[in-house]
Amino acid sequence: ETGVTQSPTHLIKTRGQQVTLRCSSQSGHNTVSWYQQALGQGPQFIFQYYREEENGRGNFPPRFSGLQFPNYSSELNVNALELDDSALYLCASSLDKTAYGYTFGSGTRLTVV
């Protein structure tokens, strides 16, 4: 079975720009959760998508948005990038809506300059 894949692996953007990060979930998984990991910190929950609908959100502003597609892959969009958005963005897929069975991808390293 394939694992969770994220693209791109690295990305450099300018402050004020918009960015889209992509995640392909593990085969058979219908839920995708996104996390932001700033340098030297633990990951923080951004939001979760279950069957194409947002199913919970952490303490992130509305300029962080997402989508989930019928094949359960997902996108994370960030508008009006700020320097503090520089981080590793991790995607995790799971079979149900709980965090019990997460499989994490390798992440996308976003640098905002």
Partner 1 sequence: AQSVTQLGSHVSVSEGALVLLRCNYSSSVPPYLFWYVQYPNQGLQLLLKYTTGATLVKGINGFEAEFKKSETSFHLTKPSAHMSDAAEYFCAFSSGSARQLTFGSGTQLTVLP
Binding letters toward partner 1, positions 69-98, x by CB under 8 A? ---------------------x-x----xx
Of these, 36, 48, 68, 86, which contacts partner 1 (CB under 8 A)? 48
* The two structure tokens encoding residue 97: 């809506």
- Separation of CA 91 from chain center: 4
Q: Who contacts 101 (Cβ-Cβ below 8 Å, separation ≥6)?
A: 94, 95
Q: Please report whether residue 42 would count as binding partner 1 according to CB under 8 A.
A: yes
Nearer to partner 1 (CB atom), residue 16 or residue 56: 56
Tell which one of 44, 65, 67, 75 touches partner 1 (CB under 8 A). 44
To partner 1, the closest distance from the beta carbon of 14 in angstroms equals 23
* CA distance readout (Å), 3 to 14, 23, 99, 102, 103: 31, 11, 16, 11, 7
d(CA 89, CA 33): 11
Find residue 64's DSSP bridge partners. 78
20 binds partner 1 (CB under 8 A): no
Contacts with partner 1, residue ranges (CB under 8 A)? 4, 6, 33, 40-45, 48, 55-56, 58, 90, 92, 97-100, 102, 104-107, 109
